[in-house]
Amino acid sequence: HYRHPELNDQIEKVLDSLKITDDQLEQIMHLLEEEMNAGLSPLTHHQAIVKMFPTYVRNIPNGTEIGQVLALDLGGTNFRVLLIDLRGNSRIELTSKIFLIPQSVMIGDGKRLFRHLAECLHEFMQKERILNTGVCYPIGFTFSFPCQQEGLASARLTAWTKGFDCSGVVNEDVVKLLQDAIDEKRINAKCVALINDTVGTLMACAYKDPSTAIGLILGTGTNACYIENLDKVGTWKGDYNEPKQVIINMEWGAFGDNGRLNLIRTKYDEEVDLSSMNPGKQIFEKMISGMYMGEIVRLIILDLLQQELLFLGHRDTYGDYKTPLYNRGGFYTKFVSTVEIDEGIQFSNTRRVLEDIGIRNPTYDDCAIVRHICRQVSKRAAKLAAAGLAVLINRIGKSNITVGVDGSLYRYHPRFKHNMERCMETLINKSIQFKLTLSDDGSGKGAAMVACLADDSL
Ligand code: ADP
């Protein structure tokens, strides 16, 4: 499919390392299930790679919940504050504001981070005229980093991920750090629940669809949660009352941190990992999520360029190393989506993206190769996420299972959902009907629902 057909074989040779066979996928599913059982067992939890944290969220909303609740959402690109009015009858009213977390705060002192969150909350409540009203508002805090929970409103951070690295927070109770900052500013609000964004996504989807049993994030990072029977959760420390279930926050991004995904890792994956803020960690996440996908594509493009298989014209004419292509992070993950929107042979989007990274006048073959790279990288990511979901769906085993999904990669990539579904059909037991549903604004709404279910005063 290139104008210079001899390129076919050479390009394929480079991209072969990205292919995952069906056999390998089954092997990966088997490995993941082993890691899951290790995370759920009290004997092995401590050393386990996939942590399988019990969340203390056991009740799933049914749409009748009523109350006015605040939600804070920290865990990725933006920090959001939301005021959510649950009206019953599956109706929700919502106002929200996005605040930026400056890079210096993301990697600075932990106290400063939480003070910053409290200041944003203060500003938002002032604008909404709910400050100092005599009402103490319950807060659901979506904090999307791995935490060991000891209750719904008590959670110790185990490690920062996704580019955050604030001092004095690891091993501390995040709810307490937040509440101290809120109290210091005398704000009339109390954090009653901490949840992960996957849990929020599951909850918000369940509010509308009672078959929902899984929450999935495909954004800056990737992670999943699901409803597990208490008798399978050896690490459970709470009571055994009805409902005998709890949502498990898998923290599946860490799958592979003990080398078990090496069978499918490429030199590009290794390079992405080594130049990241957390080398050796979040290996599965680094092969899938938005924070890394564009970088994988960039490294492959550079490799092909160095092998003189790509942009030969560009090299002759410009030959400089100042274009974004040569800089870490110079190829955004959203470019992968843009390139893949091109269907035919015009390559209008691909040309635009290439211009953005400093490549002018690419040839037809250049464009076709870049699109091919993007397709292979995003398809591999979709297959890996699909294999993870297939493990959960086969394990849950109900005849109808809905997966609530959130995150920009899933939302905006033109084929991610389709590629996942096609792969899942081959891996999931034929007796099970599954559905992937976009969970709109799940991390905010879900936190409000958990807070509402948790707060006795409402
Ligand atoms: P977060 O996960 O941080 O809460 P998002 O769900 O918006 O937030 O995910 C942000 C990630 O999504 C970034 O890594 C970004 O590269 C990626 N992203 C943003 N836009 C797109 C797009 N159009 N296609 C694919 N990925 C995208």
| Catalytic-residue membership of 144 | yes
Give the best-scoring range by mean pLDDT among 123-127, 161-165, 208-212: 123-127
Planar angle of CA 217, 246, 181, nearest 5 degrees: 65
Does residue 253 have its Cβ closer than 6 Å to ligand 1? no
At 22, the amino acid letter reads D
The pick from 409, 417, 445 for probing ligand 1's pocket by mutation, whose C-beta has the most ligand atoms within 8 angstroms, reads 409
Indicate the pLDDT class of residue 323, thresholds 50, 70 and 90. Answer: confident
The SS3 assignment for 136 reads coil
What's the pLDDT tens digit per position in 208-226? Answer: 899 999 999 999 999 999 9
Beta-carbon contacts of residue 30 (< 8 Å; ≥ 6 apart): none
Tell me if 439 CB under 6 Å of ligand 1. Answer: no
Asked if residue 84 has pLDDT above 90, the reply is: yes
Alpha helices (runs of H) in 342-407, residue ranges in sequence order: 348-356, 364-396
Mean pLDDT of 202-208: 92
The reported pLDDT for the residue numbered 27 is 98
- The candidate with the shortest Cα–Cα distance to 216, out of 45, 387, 400, is 387
Please tell me the total count of domains within the chain: 1
| Residues linked to residue 99 through DSSP beta bridges, in sequence order | 79
CB atoms near residue 380 (< 10 Å): 23
Residues in a beta bridge with 438: 405
> Residues of the chain with pLDDT > 90: what percent?
84
Task: State which ligand 1 atom lies nearest to the alpha carbon of 408.
Answer: 6
pLDDT in tens, 442-458: 889 999 999 988 876 55
> Average pLDDT for residues 408-434, to the nearest whole number?
98
Residues whose CB falls within 8 Å of the CB of residue 209, separated by 6 or more in sequence, listed in order: 402, 404, 437
The C-alpha atoms of residue 100 and residue 114 are separated, in whole angstroms, by 13
DSSP 91: E
Task: Classify residue 142: in a domain, yes or no.
Answer: yes
Answer yes or no: is the C-beta of 190 below 6 A from any ligand 1 atom. no
CB of 290 closer than 6 angstroms to any ligand 1 atom:
yes
Q: What is the mean pLDDT of residues 68-83?
A: 91
Secondary structure (3-state) at 347: coil
pLDDT tens digits, residue range 371-396? 999 999 999 999 999 999 999 999 99
CB 235 within 8 A of CB 213: no
Q: Sign of the CA dihedral 78, 82, 86, 89?
A: negative
pLDDT tops 60 at residue 282:
yes
Ligand 1 geometric centre to CA of 413 (Å): 9
Residue 411 lies in a domain: no
Per-residue pLDDT of 332-341, as tens digits, reads: 999 999 999 9
Residue 354: inside a domain: no
- 42 assigned to some structural domain: no
Averaged pLDDT score across all residues of the chain: 94
Average pLDDT over residues 173-187: 98
What is the CA angle 165-285-40, rounded to 5?
A: 90
pTM: 0.94
In a domain, 178, yes or no: yes
- The reply to whether 23 falls in a domain is no
Tokens of 437: 């549903």
Atom of ligand 1 nearest to the CA of 291: 14
Question: SS3 of 129, please?
Answer: coil
Residue 74 CA to ligand 1 center (angstroms) comes to 14
Mean pLDDT check: name the lowest of 68-77, 147-156, 406-415: 68-77
* Helix/strand/coil (H/E/C) assignment for every residue in 259-316: CCCCCCCCHHHHHHHHCCCCCCCCHHHHHHCHHHHHHHHHHHHHHHHHCCCCCHHHHH
Other CB atoms closer than 10 Å to residue 295's CB: what's the count?
22
- 172 found inside a domain: yes
Q: 97 in helix, strand or coil?
A: strand
* Single-letter amino acid code for the residue at 444: G
Atom of ligand 1 nearest to the CA of 413: 24
Contact 82, 448 (CB under 8 A): yes
Give Rg (Cα) of the chain. 23
Q: What does DSSP assign to residue 252?
A: G
Q: Cβ(442) to ligand 1 under 6 A?
A: no
Question: pLDDT-based confidence at 441, cuts 50/70/90?
Answer: confident
Nearest CA to ligand 1 atom 22: 334
Quickly state the pLDDT bin for 163 (edges 50, 70, 90): confident
Residue 80 annotated among the catalytic residues of the structure: yes
119: domain CATH number is 3.30.420.40
Interval 310-339 mean pLDDT: 82
- Cα(453) to centroid(ligand 1), Å: 30
Closest CA to 235 of 70, 104, 364, 48: 48
Q: What are phi and psi of 315, to 5 degrees?
A: -60, -45
The percent of the chain in helix, strand and coil, each rounded to the nearest 5, is 45, 20, 35
Over residues 39-53, the pLDDT tens digits come to 999 999 999 999 999
Residue 153 domain-assigned?
A: yes
Segment (H or E) for 405: strand 400-406
The first and second tokens of residue 433, run together, are 């009907």
Ranges of beta strands (E only) in 13-65 are 53-54
- CA of 293 from ligand 1 middle (Å) equals 10
| Active-site residue, from 73, 115, 173, 197 | 197
The pairing of beta strand 189-195 with beta strand 137-143: parallel
Range of the domain at 130: 55-208+440-451
Q: Give me ligand 1 centre to Cα 47, in Å.
A: 31
pLDDT at position 6, please? 78
CB 118 within 8 A of CB 187: yes
Tokens found for residue 303: 């490799």
Ligand 1 atom 20: residue of nearest CA: 334
Give the ipTM of the model, two decimals please.
0.99
- Ligand 1 centre to CA of 87 (Å) is 30
Question: Which band of pLDDT confidence, cut at 50, 70 and 90, is reported for residue 316?
Answer: very low
| Strand 66-74 relative to strand 400-406, pairing | unpaired
Cβ-based burial of 343 (10 A; exposed 0-12, middle 13-18, buried ≥19): exposed
345-365 pLDDT, tens digit per residue, is: 999 999 999 999 989 889 999
Is the beta carbon of 140 within 6 A of some atom in ligand 1?
A: no
pLDDT at 78: 85
Ligand 1 closest atom vs CA 217: 2
Q: Check pLDDT > 70 for residue 315.
A: no
Does residue 440 contact residue 410 with C-beta atoms inside 8 Å? no
